[in-house]
Amino acid sequence: MIPAQNKWMLLLDKFVDDWAGILIPRPTIALAGFEQSDGCYWCGKEVDEKNCCGCKERHVPWSRVIRLGNYEQPLSTCIVTGKYAGWDDGLEFLGKLLGEQIRGSVPPNSIIIPVPMPPLRRFFRGIDHTAVIAKHAARVARLPMRQALWRWDSAPQASKTASARIKMKRNTMLLRPLARIRGKNVVLIDDVLTTGRTMEVATNRLKSKGVSSVRIAVLAVTKMPKKGKKSDLWAADRLTGALGGIQYSSLPVF
């Protein structure tokens, strides 16, 4: 017979397990229905028979884009939750999926470098989501990860318009001392590829420091937005509330 005290502990465990399972969605549940899709080899945008991605006129400094899919449901919600609500499990899951894509599709002597977050933003957000994604991707792809870049700029990319992003200054991305990247094939990791300006600045910086080649690996690729992605920030607010257990019932299933 189970002693009375243990019985209560078991009940408490069950209670916590049930509620934790509901309040913090498991990545597999949150990503239900998502299918991975490759985009254009060079720009990463969706390619179909009618709509060409239109990157023929565009020069991209990297040699390939590896991605999980388009920036749309349910992938987008998972990225936003990971980023703004610090959903570690979700970032880990997505990072591992990306690692599987990277493994076997990069040359030897490759290293993984996450696109850095400005220190102040890292401080306020409490999580460097790109570094988390890169860490798990690197483990699955069996490649070393190096935080070789350093960066500062003011407003987060998501709040800027497309034109403001394009104007991003070249000198906002710097190489850390003792980065040891000369001659390496770099896989540059970020969460979402939008205009590609951040990646362009990072790629050019790396190439100027003697990197052999740069590939881009991102969770999702968007179509170019006209305005800042306000709706995503709004969704993140709701989800932060949801993770605090306040508004869960009013949330759509994701």
Residues at the contact surface with Zn ion, assessed by CB under 5 A: 40, 42-43, 53, 55
Q: How far is the CB of 157 from Zn ion (least distance, A)?
A: 21
Is 247 in a helix, a strand, or coil? Answer: coil
Q: How far is the CB of 63 from Zn ion (least distance, A)?
A: 13
Q: What pairs with residue 188 in β-bridges?
A: 113, 216
User: Please, which residue, 141 or 214, has the CB nearer to Zn ion?
Assistant: 214
Q: Are strands 149-151 and 173-175 parallel, antiparallel or unpaired?
A: antiparallel
Helices 75-84 and 230-243 meet at what angle, rounded to 10? 70
Q: Exposed/middle/buried for 193, CB within 10 Å: 0-12, 13-18, 19+?
A: buried
User: Please, which residue, 105 or 172, has the CB nearer to Zn ion?
Assistant: 105
User: Please, which residue, 85 or 193, has the CB nearer to Zn ion?
Assistant: 193
Q: How far is the CB of 44 from Zn ion (least distance, A)?
A: 7
DSSP line for 189-204: EEEEESSSHHHHHHHH
- Residues 6 or more apart whose CB falls under 8 angstroms from that of 193 comprise 44, 65, 67, 199, 216, 218, 220, 221, 222
The pair phi, psi for residue 87, each rounded to 5°, is: -85, 85
Measured CA to CA, the distance from residue 76 to residue 217 in angstroms comes to: 16
Q: How far is the CB of 41 from Zn ion (least distance, A)?
A: 7
Among 204, 232, 226, 213, which residue's Cα sits nearest to residue 77? 232
User: Please, which residue, 43 or 85, has the CB nearer to Zn ion?
Assistant: 43
Measured at the CA of 92, the angle between CA 174 and CA 194, to 5 degrees, comes to: 50
Percent helix, percent strand, percent coil in the chain, to nearest 5: 45, 15, 45
Q: How far is the CB of 82 from Zn ion (least distance, A)?
A: 26
Q: How far is the CB of 193 from Zn ion (least distance, A)?
A: 11
Q: How far is the CB of 219 from Zn ion (least distance, A)?
A: 18
